[in-house]
Chain A
Amino acid sequence: MTIHRPTIDRPMPAGQVGRSVPRLEARQKVTGRADYVHNLVVPRMLYCKVVRSTVPHGRILSIDTSAAEALEGVYRVVTADDIRTVVPNPFYGPAFHDQPVLAVEKVRHVGEPVVAVLAEDPYVAAEAAQLVTVEYEPMEAVFDEIEAMTSTAVVHEVLKPAGTFPDLKHLVGRRDTNIALDYRLRRGDVDAAFAAADHVFAHEFKTQQVMHTPLEPMVSLAEPGEDTLTIHTASQSPSFVRIEIARLLGWPENRVRVKVPHLGGGFGAKLYIKLEALVACLALLVRRPVKWSLTMEEQFYTITKHASTFRIESAVDKEGRVTGRRCEVFWNGGAYADIGPRVTQKSGFTAPGPYDIDNVSIDSYALYTNRPPAGALRGFGIPQLVWAYESHTDLIARGLGLDPVAFRRKNLLRDGRPQATGTPVRDAAIEGVLDDIAARMAWETPFDRGSGPVKRGRGIAVGFKASIAPTTSVAIVNVAADGSANLYLSTVDMGQGSDTAMAQIVAETLTLRTEDVKVVHPDTDVTPYDMATLGSRSTFHAGNAVKLAAEHARDQIAALAASLGLPPGSNYAPADLFKKKYGMQAGNIIGVGTYIPEYKSPAPETGLSDNVTPFWMVGGTGVEIEVDTETGHVRILRMVNACDLGRPLNPKIVETQISGAALMQLGFTMFENMDLDDGQVTNASLADYKIPGMHDVPDQMESVITEAEQKSGPYGAKGVGESATFGVSPAIANAIHDAVGVRLTEMPLTPQAVFRALREAELNSSTTSA
């Protein structure tokens, strides 16, 4: 494998931002000493094991816990009735308060927690859980998102909007249906555009349900105090956990302490509130610390990525300009809404893609079904959309006999032009990303198409994403009397390198070495509010807060210098100032920064807003592939991923983010798939649910940091955790089409699917010619 190293080397004045500093915690990670909740043990701790629903939808008729309780070593067996003695209304969730801590009266998906068993020995807890028997009266279930639109099986009889987030305030859902949210956008006159079109293209694309499979399986540990509760949790959103647990308990926020050490991967699985509600209730119920660790298998029943169906239709004029687009997107949210409604809206409004289209209509539906719940997974719905609109775009170009890159160039959204919502696009290097990929792949030059049964092809795709808003980040920088600094921040470093990037921002601003900045891990007793580590928001949102905090500290140091009689611009070390002021090494300077970007919610009727996002992420992929026409096997020879991430804070970490995101999406594209049988996941283990390994990495991987700047970002930077996922799936499908002339419209793109399509095409052409 050859790796192209972008030569972006333009550090800022202090030399800290733009420098490829190794991760601050690197030594802890290579020595196995990094702390994860996975390894945490506290005195008097009990282990929890839950008994899970075996039916997809059903009323609970009876629960028999007697055999489990009789097993030696079992401390307690807990049902929803017990939970209610601690939390009278035990329902949680970020968008709807729809998810019970333990199932109440009915179950809505296979694998839903029904009973919790506590024991000092985890093996005893596991054995006892198998001794609990639950009787269900099965109810009609619905699994498919399209069927859920009209199904007589209704997953939730009552809808309970949470009202937590301003962008989801209008959430009401539709009673007696499975529609948790329908987002609509209307801009221009779509019907007129289609009536006047020279060409109309309509397609339907589907994606499958997949899982994040973080290698540190989800885990939380709650420790009760006298009138406090401490939760150690592998969470991407400690601030949200604190607020949600306080709400459930009816406590003030300050009595709930949430601590997050390193995370063994998150990818969206560990967002909002997951295991924390149950461990909190259990710990308060038994007045002992309780730890709940999921197995890999259990993760598949906890949170997943939305399966989806996307119907997309375009009106195109004779010059090859897209004049109108209709989008209908159906998101399979599973049994509990989690953050699905936000996926539905936030991703929904970019469904027409990064194209300049005057007339657009979008309908995006969050649907309840009896599958395991779906939430955020690296891209927040965007990969599902890009898969559809970039496959569609390629089909239009082919239909018109135009080069796919030239056709995209003709229609791309350019700086200052309004996106579907009406928000003008700024600082989004959509064309730059496309150009970088095309240049790397030498798109204009002839391409070797292979010989014999092995055909070669290439494909390209670009996508974009709006960032999250409204949202708040707060940071505190504490400069000690020797000039070293601590950064207090509730952003979670789950591997993306945020600790290092944030330390670089502090170091740049205070003219320190990055290595001399210590980042204090999230501890809500100590670190200030940060909405969550999601949606590639940290670099921009938290980064801006950190920069403001560091500037605040820097200004106070300057003021201290002035108060000590030093003329402005004089050269001094902060340590000398402290010594001069206090007569010894003493004191602190505390800088605080709060960042809240401007935002305007889409109008409920039209879905329009002139300021729908603080920034845009752009990512694209180009691939060269080989298709074995005898078996349908696709081999990816080369993959180029380019992203606009503004100016990179740490180029090396950014490259790893780019290739890592693309490889994860490669798994979702080619083979990852939760096989469901009547709501049960039949491949809930890494033996049968395959994720990419060494041999799945393309022969040649290239990560490209597109020349760009996010003017409103800290030192010109913005996030990149998700951007390289956008283009992967359609680029591969487009390349398959290029290689062998068949189009796949459903993921994953398995060899069998390719082979079947080839066979069908063969049959069609022989019947046509006959």
Chain B
Amino acid sequence: MRGFELVHPGSLADAIGLLDTDDDTVRPFSGGTALMLMMKTGVFRPSRLVHLGRIGDAYSEITASPAGGLRIGAMATLSALEHSPEVIRVAPVVARAMTRLANVRVRNVACVGGNLAHGDPHMDLPPVLAALGGSVSVAGPQGTRDVAVEKLFSGYYETVLGRGELITDVVLPSQRGWSSAYLKCTTRSADDWPALGVAVSLRIEGGAISEARVVVSAATEILTRLTTAESALTGAAADESTFARACEAAAAEAEMVEDARGSADYKTQLLRVYLRRALTQAVQDGAVS
């Protein structure tokens, strides 16, 4: 990992300019926790790291919108998310997910944008943000665009981000009336990478589910929205039998990947159980007001 250049652009435009290259040994560097691992093991040998720490404080701000949504600067650390009064009020499920994500030191330095851009399907934040209907603002040499978090990932450790593109913000739509939960499951030590992550978000009106989002991660190659499970939920009563149907639909729909944390069959069983528990918890915790 010797011999690379660590540069500190003072603005987003400068950062994009530095990253607008075909050279894949040039990479953005925010908290660096993931890149450092790849560098230490020799998987990635950079020629230049573009440190984003000085592009401006605005990119680490977290602000609640009057409508009940949230804008999270990509350079906000995971710890900032965990402790932000706005996040706790508007999207409490996000703050709760943080307490068992990696560890305190990683959360202190790892940033929201990097966490998403890394494309690792075992991360906790992407499924939660996807279930909340979140999107990212992306800035690049060709200008800016918005991408839904659920559409951000194109493969195992791959995203749709193009040359020179950086995530600048995460935007959550109004969470009012939505009940959400995230559960993850480990199968080795308690603080292992998850074998399964499942995030749900429901809009319940008069005892019936009017809208539902169900997202599975970690057990699948990329974060996946389970639309048949969502269909099973939508329009039905928020009760056990609906949840059971949704869980069977999810089990039939999700394509599980076998690894050291469990077989595909076993992960399918975990999905059945954890989706039901997540749905139950979302209902129990109630809607954001």
Question: Do A and B interact directly, with beta carbons closer than 8 Å?
Answer: yes
A contact residues vs B (CB 8 Å cutoff):
123-124, 126-127, 130, 297, 630-631, 667, 670-672, 675, 682-683, 687-688, 690-696, 750-752, 755-756
Task: Name the B residues within 8 Å of A687 (CB-CB).
Answer: 37, 193
A693 touches B273 (CB 8 A): no
Instruction: Give Cα A133 to B205, complex, Å.
Output: 66
Q: Which residues of B contact A755 (CB under 8 A)?
A: 266, 269
Stretch of B132-140, B181-189, B218-226, B227-235 lying at the A interface: B181-189
B266 cross-chain contacts in A, Cβ below 8 A:
752, 755-756
- State whether A750 touches B187 (Cβ < 8 A): yes
In the complex, what distance in Å separates the CA atom of A441 from the CA atom of B260?
35
Instruction: Tell me which of B2, B189, B270 contacts A123 (CB under 8 A).
Output: B2
Is B263 positioned at the interface, with any CB of A under 8 Å from its CB?
Answer: yes
Query: Which residues of B line the A interface, CB within 8 A?
Result: 1-2, 37, 41-42, 185, 187-193, 260, 262-263, 266, 269-270, 273-274
Do B269 and A750 touch (CB < 8 A)? no
Q: How far is the CB of A290 from chain B (nearest CB, A)?
A: 21
Chain B, Cβ-Cβ closest to A666: B189
- Could you tell me the distance in whole angstroms from the C-beta of A459 to the nearest C-beta in chain B? 21
Extra contacts besides A130-B42, A671-B188, A675-B260 (10): CB < 8 Å: A126-B42, A631-B273, A671-B192, A672-B188, A687-B193, A688-B260, A690-B192, A693-B190, A693-B191, A696-B189
Q: Are A127 and B2 in contact (CB under 8 A)?
A: yes
**21 chain-A/chain-B pairs, Cβ below 8 angstroms:** A123-B2, A127-B2, A297-B41, A631-B274, A670-B189, A672-B188, A675-B260, A683-B260, A687-B37, A687-B193, A688-B260, A691-B189, A692-B189, A693-B189, A693-B191, A694-B191, A695-B191, A696-B190, A696-B191, A751-B187, A752-B262
Q: Which 9 pairs of residues, A with B, have the shortest CB-CB distance? A: A695-B190, A690-B189, A671-B188, A690-B188, A630-B273, A752-B266, A690-B192, A693-B191, A752-B262
Once the chains bind, are B189 and A667 in contact (CB under 8 Å)?
Answer: yes
Q: Roughly how many angstroms separate A690 CA and B190 CA in the complex, as a whole number?
A: 9
Q: How far is the CB of B102 from chain A (nearest CB, A)?
A: 10
Please tell me which one of the listed residues B1, B2, B270 contacts residue A631 in the complex, with CB atoms under 8 A apart.
B270
Residue of B nearest to A667 (CB): B189
Contact A631 B189 (CB under 8 A): no
In the bound complex, CA of A60 to CA of B270 (Å): 46
In the bound complex, CA of A124 to CA of B2 (Å): 8
Q: Which residues of B contact A670 (CB under 8 A)?
A: 188-189
A750 in contact with B1 (CB, 8 Å) = no
| Cα distance, A503 to B274, chains bound together (Å) | 54
Inside 8 A of B187's CB, which chain A residues have their CB? 671, 750-752
* Measured CA separation A185–B191 after assembly (Å): 44
Query: Considering the chains assembled together, what is the distance between the CA atoms of A692 and B188 in angstroms?
Result: 9
Q: What are the residues of chain A within 8 A of B269 when measuring CB–CB? A: 630-631, 755
Closest-CB distance, B113 to chain A (whole angstroms): 22
A contact residues around B41 at 8 Å (CB)? 297
Q: Inside 8 A of A675's CB, which chain B residues have their CB?
A: 260
**A519 CA to B266 CA in the complex, in Å?**
54
In the complex, what's the smallest C-beta–C-beta distance from A481 to chain B, in angstroms? 51
Closest residue of chain A to B262, judged by CB?
A: A752
A695 to B1, CA, bound (A): 34
Inter-chain contacts of B274 with A (CB < 8 A): 631
Contact B260 A682 (CB under 8 A): yes
Could you say which residues of chain B place their CB within 8 Å of the CB of A751?
187, 262
**In whole angstroms, what is the CA distance A631 to B262 when docked?**
11
Q: In the bound complex, what is the Cα–Cα distance between A671 and B266 (angstroms)?
A: 16
In the complex, chain A residues whose CB is within 8 Å of the CB of B42: 126, 130
User: In the docked arrangement, what's the CA distance between A682 and B190, Å?
Assistant: 20
Q: How far is the CA of A672 from the CA of B37 in the complex (A)?
A: 22
B25 to chain A, nearest CB (A): 15
- Inter-chain contacts of B189 with A (CB < 8 A): 667, 670-671, 690-693, 695-696
In the bound complex, residues from chain B placing their C-beta under 8 Å from that of A297 are 41
Whole-angstrom CA separation of A330 from B185 in the bound complex: 35
Which residues of chain A come closer than 8 Å to B262, judged between CB atoms?
751-752
CA distance A683 to B37 in the complex (A): 15
Q: Contact at B191–A752, with CB atoms within 8 Å?
A: no
B1 touching A123 by the CB < 8 A rule? yes
B197 CB, min distance to chain A CBs, angstroms = 15
The smallest beta-carbon distance between A322 and chain B, in angstroms, is 36
Q: How far is the CB of A756 from chain B (nearest CB, A)?
A: 8
- Which residues from A are CB-within-8-Å of B263? 752
How far is B261's CA from A682's CA once the two chains are assembled, in angstroms?
Answer: 13
> Cα distance A688–B260 when bound, in Å?
9
Q: Please measure, in the bound complex, the distance between the C-alpha atom of A683 and the C-alpha atom of B261, giving whole angstroms.
A: 11
- What residues on B are CB-neighbors of A752 within 8 Å? 187, 262-263, 266
CA distance A687 to B270 in the complex (A): 22
Compute how far the CA of A734 lies from the CA of B37 in the bound complex, rounded to whole angstroms.
40
Question: Within the assembled complex, what's the spacing in Å between the Cα atoms of A683 and B189?
Answer: 14
Q: Collect the chain A residues with CB atoms within 8 Å of residue B273's CB.
A: 630-631
The distance in angstroms between the C-alpha atoms of A670 and B187, with both chains bound, is 9
Partner of B185, one of A127, A631, A672, A683: A631
Measured between beta carbons, the chain B residues less than 8 angstroms from A130 are: 42
- Chain A residue nearest to B188 in the complex (CB): A671
Among candidates B185, B188, B191, residue contacting A750 with C-beta atoms closer than 8 Å: B188
Task: Give the CA-CA distance A672 to B2 in the complex, in Å.
Answer: 34
B185 — which chain A residues lie within 8 A by C-beta? 631
Chain A residues near B190 (CB-CB < 8 A): 693, 695-696
Q: Which residue of A lies closest to B196 (CB)?
A: A631
A126 to B191: give the CA distance in the assembly, Å. Answer: 30
Q: A124, A126, A751 — which one has the most chain B CB atoms within 10 A of its CB?
A: A751
B190 (CB) vs chain A CBs: closest residue? A695
CB-CB nearest in chain B for A631: B273
Q: How far is the CA of A696 from the CA of B190 in the complex (A)?
A: 6
Q: Which of A126, A690, A692, A695 is most buried by chain B, counting CB atoms within 10 A of its CB?
A: A690
